[in-house]
A and B are shown apart, each in its own frame.
Chain A
Amino acid sequence: MKKYSPSEEVDFVVIGSGAAGAVMAKQLGLAGFSVVVMEQGPWGAYGHEQDYSKDELSNRFPAEDDTLISDPSKYRNTFRRNASEKAVAGNHSYGCVVGGGTVTYGASSWRHLPWEFDEASRFGTMKGTGIADWPISYKELEPYYVQAEWEIGISGPNLKSPLIAPMSKPYPVPPLPLKSSGALMQRAAEKLNLVVTPNVAAIITQPYNGRSGCIHCGMCSGYGCQVKARSSSAVSLLPIAVATGNCEIRVHSTVREISVNAAGRATGVIYLDKKNDNREVFQKAKCVVLSANGTETPRLLLMSKSGRFPQGLANSSGIVGKYLMTGNGGGASGLFSDPLNEYKGCVTGAAVLSYVPNDVKGRGWYGGGRMTARGQQSPIQYGLGGPHNAPRWGAGYKKALIEQANRKLTMVNFISQLPIETNMVDLDPDVKDAWGLPALRITTTSHENDFKAMQFFIDKSVEILKAAGATTVWADQVSDSRGGAHARGTCRIGNDPKSSVANKYHRAHDVPNLFIVDGSSLVTGGRNHPTMTISALAYRCAEHLVKAAKAGNVTI
């Protein structure tokens, strides 16, 4: 791998190696630019993926260098429902390894639908929310979805339906098996007239681009993939970036500031070299690409205060960190008479699409959701969670645990969440992370509308499980989100510098050589599956950036 000296001014520093950062690194490297990718986490089993552990206990209590997801006791964060509360310790976490969240995610890879890009014009705004149009249309983004799907490797059904975004090119690989969960959804679909399809996933089902197909090992979401079937950034994109000879991935490197000069241009980044006593290093760069995720990206901008940017970098609008959408859920569970064995195979086999569209008149609330069904995953998780309606220990616990084993199915739903200005990421004034940096603070309470949405999907889940033949069904309580993997919206793109952080090509309105692209770029949240859209946005951003850089339009 190419190595650069920090004092050498590279063309680009890319902060983050996940769904967006890896696309940027690859495209910029291929175009001949020098690139340093800053990754907070370790290598993981990059390049020797067969060494990923499938051991549930080790995965639950990983050694420090085997950690794939940020540990909230070190990557400390706090949480509160609203600004009048004092924040308490939070358990927000995210992928923290070369490849970011794509190394361990469930890998659902749905596109946003065309009408999810102009909701304000199409459906109108709503009081108390920040519903706004995106500065780009689905049509403009569509070619980049295709590019992302084919380069990353996405499996899915090729269907034409108003419930699925129209595609100019089919998925490169056929879909995953439906599993028993999917078969049961189909059973319910016949009675309730629902549309059920195999899931769209960044998991290849047959050899593709030199990688092997999924062997359905079952230790999937939360685990690294031993056979490279999960199309993570670490196996699909970063090896190509590194092979250009232009790109260095620098691990254990936590950026704490994007530095600027008197002219207000980015000059590079200050990062903590965590394997060298956390010494501070300044990496010079002509241009900075920020792809650190929907919570870490705004945090870094807010930490990058200077005389010129007293309220944080790229934040003249004051909305960096605001309009946070963490993703709502809520569903129900049921028991079936025969074993589903859902612990085999990937986490999600099928999706119910019928309630993706809006139906404000019919339902009395705005939004929609994609429903999935998943069962018991791994033995320790099952044992600790315990059986339904049974004691927590003793003979009754054991009896129920054995009786219910492999027979449970849970509807896990991905529900729209409205962007609200007061839902945000900012810096905790009191708490510091393990490196002495201000802890990330999450403030969030969903809109009243979204509680109705959650209740709708809980009720629908009960109905579907009953129609599928469940012998016992129980509903979740409505529960507002607190953080987690799907954070979006905190540096929204837009045409107006007063109401957005970056422009339609992801260039920060305030800093001409700073580009921000990741979950934070999303204006509205879609139906909560953000990764495919993040990848597509990155491809589009990269194309623009390569052209601009070649024209000398982003240098200091």
Chain B
Amino acid sequence: MSATRRTFLLRGFSAGTTAWLAANWPAQVAAVESAQAMGHFTFFTPAQAMEIDAMAAQIYPSDSTPGAKEAQVIYFIDLALVTFAQDKQAIYKQGFADLAAKTGGRPLGAMPMSDQIALLTSIETTPFFRTVRDHTIMGMFAAPQHGGNFQKAGWKQIGFDDSLNFRAPFGAYDKA
């Protein structure tokens, strides 16, 4: 993993996730290095990536379980915007301009948590926020090969087993 990418990841972590990170760090590093050697952003500038990463962290927060940050949703979105979601690039570009007007150019992630939530609530009906919301959720729950859902963090939280071969009984109520 490149220094840029690791620095980026580390800088963003909140106190709550540091413990999770410490417990999972060796495996995480290994997996990142082998599977996702992106190291840079394709669509976003580093500053833009920080803004989207901060938004994603409020949309799907980290608590006792991983959030968008640990699931590396930002890499999913970056990839999305140059692949299946190319048609959403303009929404992001406009969104960055509108966001800067609201923050006065101050990084969203540097603001107090309550201010971040208040700001995002004030724009939650805009196409920009809705798109980032949907992309964040897709990044949590799409297969890891698309850049997010790191170590299947999203799938584990909602009890989704991605095996492609099951036998009945499947759930609690069809057990004999």
Contact = CB atoms under 8 A, between A and B. Distances in A.
Interface of A: 54-57, 61, 177-180, 182-184, 187, 215-219, 226, 336, 338-345, 379-380, 382-384, 392-395, 397-398, 401-402, 405-406
The 4 closest A-B pairs by CB, nearest first: A180-B171, A338-B172, A61-B84, A177-B168
Nearest to A338: B172
B140 A383 contact: yes
Chain B contact residues: helix, strand, loop or mixed: loop
B59 A393 contact: yes
A384 B35 CA distance: 26
Contacts of A177: 168-170, 174
B166 A215 contact: yes
B76 to A, nearest CB: 9
B70 to A, nearest CB: 12
B137 interface: yes
Contacts of A184: 173
B158 A336 contact: no
B174 A398 contact: no
B166 A57 contact: no
B171 to A, nearest CB: 3
B168 A398 contact: no
26 contacts: A55-B145, A56-B141, A56-B143, A57-B146, A177-B169, A180-B173, A183-B174, A215-B166, A217-B166, A219-B164, A339-B171, A340-B171, A341-B172, A342-B170, A344-B170, A345-B166, A379-B160, A384-B134, A384-B138, A393-B58, A393-B59, A393-B120, A394-B59, A405-B157, A405-B160, A406-B159
Contacts, number: 130
A176 to B, nearest CB: 9
Contacts of A217: 164-166
B137 A384 contact: yes
Contact of A178 (B141, B164, B174): B174
Nearest to B152: A379
B141 A179 contact: no
Contacts of A384: 134, 137-138
A187 B160 CA distance: 25
Interface stretch (B25-33, B60-68, B98-106): B60-68
Given A379-B155, A402-B158, A180 B65 contact: no
A339 B160 CA distance: 11
B141 A340 contact: no
Given A344-B166, A398-B63, A379 B173 contact: no
Q: Is the interface of A mostly helix, strand, loop or mixed?
A: loop
B174 A179 contact: yes
Interface in B60-99: 60-61, 63, 65, 67, 84-85
B124 interface: yes
B175 to A, nearest CB: 8
A384 B134 CA distance: 6
Nearest to A385: B137
B19 interface: no
B168 A345 contact: yes
Interface in B130-144: 133-134, 136-138, 140-143
A384 B139 CA distance: 11
B158 A379 contact: yes
Contacts of B133: 392-393
Contact of B60 (A179, A187, A215, A393): A393
Contacts of A182: 174
Contacts of B67: 398
A216 B166 contact: yes
Contacts of B168: 177-179, 216, 345
Contacts of B160: 343, 379, 405
Contacts of A342: 170-171
B117 A394 contact: yes
A405 B171 contact: no
